[in-house]
Structure 1
């Protein structure tokens, strides 16, 4: 399957133009939906403003490739965190394929000039699919290196013309217990929610993934649309996105709401800040050998080895704003 095929959705599945253009109905839909809860890190004061440092295209693109051995496709699609389909690592891949990904729409609104409910095809219209090889690390201490398909997040968000009040971007996963049987269990406060500061969302490394290894995303990997923020822990990579909202205050996130002392809003990979229940100094790479799932432990790198993002956190205490 080509990169373009991975994003190709028939015109018959695109949201009707009248619905998209009807601003009154759109605003009414937002009014009828529950408001995203807002909170900071452990009730602390807002963090300092981000640095104005500009990342050059060359610096950014250097983060899209690596000489590290890729994780096998079989492992990347069978060892997953996606609690909507089960809490065990093998549960998501073994779950029945109940998620209906066509048609799929994403509601975008909040502090922006051009809100809309768009089909996936319309959301990504005009953006050339790219392949980027990212290292992603899970907070429990394992990591993968995967070639992802998708588009940069920032240019997609700019289409909606966020206003000066848009300080953060909030994301919401589909919350249908029929399609996602794991939601029937109160592991988290469903639906799953995540968020980024606006400058993080606009960074060239932030990515909307629609596929991996040249194929469309499988259900267990977050079909049909997920977030990738490679310098953060894997739980920031919210899957099966149905809603994006520009907000003025730091949005509450699913894991922070569940365990605020363990899962901060920023969630940057930082070997110098241990999780309360385990060390973050090393990780187990899930890499290419067929004989065993995990390779030897390797040192964890600050920002997961992406120094291009360090300027985003200049002046911040990364122990306080974890």
Structure 2
């Protein structure tokens, strides 16, 4: 039996205190799983550690985005996540991200810009008024949510950076700290996580830098303190915990393009007619609606065709997936 002395234990290996004290509750909750599934009441939050709410964000304004949509619960949004830097299971990010420190924070802007350098989060938030935008979010695995993001248009940062005529694409690089992000210690992906957009996609009014949800600062597992949100694309396009934004002339080779080029293309537009090699994209399951609830038809561009369809006029969307 291996016995670890205190000096052998890394901070990232320590179970957060609130999860340790709730371990029996979680085990009991798992025993109720069959009953919940039978009643169609499955909710990821029932199997996750307790979520401590973040501070409120003052002064943001409501918008008409997503009016009439039924919101996914705060608990489900914050306990059912893809964030491989904290683990590959959906419950891992909420359980494994407690040691990650999203403050103080700054983003390095570089490449084909007239104003390279770092911008602190506090300065970023002054570039444009903060707004609440309710967006449908669709994951490539077939599940979806409706999330009330709080953020600012990415275009505000782009204008601040003053891109040159050579800037055709933007790379978004996420944090990759092995001391506080245990998933980074595994050679699953080519870290740090890198995503990209074409310049006109980045400038579209729907594209935002989110700093909160449900009127609160982002939880670590949701990409604190600032993440990309592009609601007509599959969720993996939304880089989290951004530390670097680079303006480039050539299309970036993103993390998932390098990991699985036959499965993940650069554009990643939600398209029910283009199947993933391992599953259909024609329908989706809304998280929180019950495991056996009726699946919803997937909408082209996730329902945002009117706002973004013109960006891809004349393109073969099966080839440029």
TM range (shorter): 0.7 to 0.9
Other structure's SS at 1:303 match: helix
- 1:125 offset after TM fit, Å? 1.8
In the alignment, the residues of structure 2 paired with residue 127 and residue 232 of structure 1 have an alpha-carbon distance, to the nearest angstrom, of 23
1:123 is aligned to 124
Report the equivalent of 1:259.
260
Q: CA RMSD in A?
A: 1.5
Match of 1:277 in 2: 278
Contact 1:75–1:293 (CA<8 Å) still a contact in 2?
no
Match of 1:236 in 2: 237
1:296 aligned residue (271, 294, 297) = 294
Kept in 1: contact 2:194–2:255 (CA 8 A): yes
Q: Tell me if structure 2 keeps the 8 A contact 1:105–1:117.
A: yes
For the pair shown, the structure with the greater C-alpha radius of gyration is: 2
CA distance in 2 between counterparts of 1:3 and 1:95 reads 24
Q: 1:294 Cα shift?
A: 6.7
What pairs up with 1:49-64 in 2 under 5 angstroms? Answer: 64=65
Deviations 1:52-96 (A, max 9, x none): xxxxxxxxx76x223221101110100000000010001111114
SS in 2 for 1:268: coil
Q: Return the alpha-carbon distance in structure 2 between the equivalents of residues 3 and 163 of structure 1.
A: 34
Q: Is 2:97–2:181's contact at 8 Å kept on the other side of the alignment?
A: no
What is the distance in 1 between the residues matched to 2:312 and 2:85? Answer: 32
After superposition, residues 31-46 of structure 1 pair within 5 angstroms as none
Counterpart in 2 of 1:312? Answer: 311
Query: Whole-Å Cα distance in 1 between the matches of residues 192 and 237 of structure 2?
Result: 14
1:34 match? none
Q: Which runs of 5+ in 2 are unaligned?
A: 1-54
Q: How far apart are residue 181 of structure 1 and its match?
A: 0.8
Q: Once superposed, which parts of structure 1, at least 4 consecutive aligned residues long, lie more than 6 Å away?
A: none
Pick 1 or 2: higher relative contact order, CA cutoff 8 A, min separation 6. Answer: 1
After TM superposition, give the deviation of residue 293 of structure 1 in Å.
5.6
Offset from partner CA, 1:170-220 (integer Å, 9 cap, x none)? 000011100111100111000000000000000000010000001100010
Aligned residues: 264
1:76 maps to 77
Q: TM-score, normalised by structure 2?
A: 0.80
- Mean Cα deviation higher: 202-211 or 149-158: 149-158
**Partner of 2:147 in structure 1?**
146
**Cα distance between partner residues in 2 of 1:183 and 1:295:** 35
Distance 1:294-1:313 versus aligned 2 partners, 3 A rule: farther
Measured in 1, the distance between the counterparts of 2:92 and 2:167 equals: 37
Q: What pairs up with 1:101-116 in 2 under 5 angstroms?
A: 101-116=102-117
- 2 CA distance for matches of 1:165 and 1:4? 38
- The whole-number CA distance in structure 2 between the counterparts of 1:155 and 1:132 is 16
Matches within 5 A, 1:178-217: 178-217=179-218
